[in-house]
Amino acid sequence: MRQNGARRPSPDGVELLGAVIVSFGDCDAERLRLQWRNHLGGVAPAHLPRWLLLRLLAYRMQAAALGDLDKARLRLLRQSKGEGAGGVDGRPFETRGPTTRDGIGLKSGRCSFGNGTAGWSG
């Protein structure tokens, strides 16, 4: 299926893309960032862990070569089940306030473990 104007790649091109992506499995995070720069251009997000960087790199390369999802499918994926476009604010999940378990007292600026010196040996 062609989407977003991508041309249909040859079977050899798809096979080559698959081999390149499989080869990323042996790379560490720094090597994946280098591959990101080589294949996609720009700088890879530095805060991403290796496992997520690998998946994003593979997805972006496949989307560039084979075409990404069209706007209608992206909109459908972003919608919550049974709802039009998410919650009241367009968010898929209901926001809830911070809570604590019964019996735990939190005080600003101090740890509430015992005498307030949790982990302090001085």
- C-alpha 23/C-alpha 25 separation (Å) is 5
pTM reported for the whole predicted model: 0.54
Please tell me the distance from the alpha carbon of residue 8 to that of residue 1, in angstroms, as a whole number. Answer: 8
Single-letter code of the amino acid located at 94: E
Residue linked to tokens 């809830």: 96
Q: What is the mean pLDDT of the chain?
A: 76
pLDDT surpasses 70 at 17? yes
The pLDDT assigned to 51 comes to 92
pLDDT in tens, 51-87: 999 999 999 888 888 888 888 888 888 886 555 544 4
Say how far apart CA 85 and CA 76 lie, in whole Å. 9
Question: What is the pLDDT at residue 18?
Answer: 87
Higher local confidence (pLDDT), 103 or 2: 103
- CA dihedral of residues 34, 38, 40, 45 (deg, nearest 10): 20
